[in-house]
Amino acid sequence: MNPSKQVVVIDDNATNRLLPGLFLRPLGYSVKECDGAKEALDWLNHNPCDVILLDISMPHVSGLQLCQQLRADQRYQHLKIIAYTAHAMPEEVQLWESSGFDKVLLKPIRKDDLLALFN
């Protein structure tokens, strides 16, 4: 693990934003929480980031739409974008992975599953 990594958790649910930070911060990760696409984009435009945990089902701009927007922008090509979702049907997981997400993390998350994505 690289404890200097900056992680952004984007989710409209406060509890879902909080949990990854509880697991990652003690390991030295910096974790920024955003409640939607607008806040995340505003923050990303001014701050470096390595990994995004991105909720799929959000109001206004879905996680899928935000992922596609980030992938279309050269500034964010290096980002590891992880779908952070309860949508676990095999066809849904395949859609997320084929739409630009690097990995899929299913809710409710377990610490071991989250940390495995950072190795």
pLDDT in tens, 82-94: 999 987 788 888 8
Q: How confident is the model at residue 2 (pLDDT cuts 50, 70, 90)?
A: low
| Model pLDDT, residue 94 | 86
pLDDT in tens, 19-67: 999 999 999 999 999 999 999 999 999 999 999 999 999 999 999 999 9
Q: How confident is the model at residue 3 (pLDDT cuts 50, 70, 90)?
A: low
pLDDT in tens, 65-119: 999 999 999 999 999 999 999 877 888 888 888 889 999 999 999 999 999 998 7
Q: Is residue 112 classed exposed, middle or buried when 0-12, 13-18 and 19+ CB atoms within 10 A define those classes?
A: exposed
If you write DSSP's letter for every residue of 14-77 in order, what string do you get? Answer: HHHHHHHHHHHGGGT-EEEEESSHHHHHHHHTTS--SEEEEES--SSS-HHHHHHHHHTSGGGT
Q: Distance between CA 76 and CA 60 in Å, rounded?
A: 21
Q: Distance between CA 102 and CA 89 in Å, rounded?
A: 17
Q: Distance between CA 23 and CA 114 in Å, rounded?
A: 8
Per the CB < 8 A criterion, the answer to whether 78 and 57 are in contact is no
Residue 98 dihedral angles phi and psi, to the nearest 5°: -85, -5
Domains of the chain: 6-116 (3.40.50.2300)
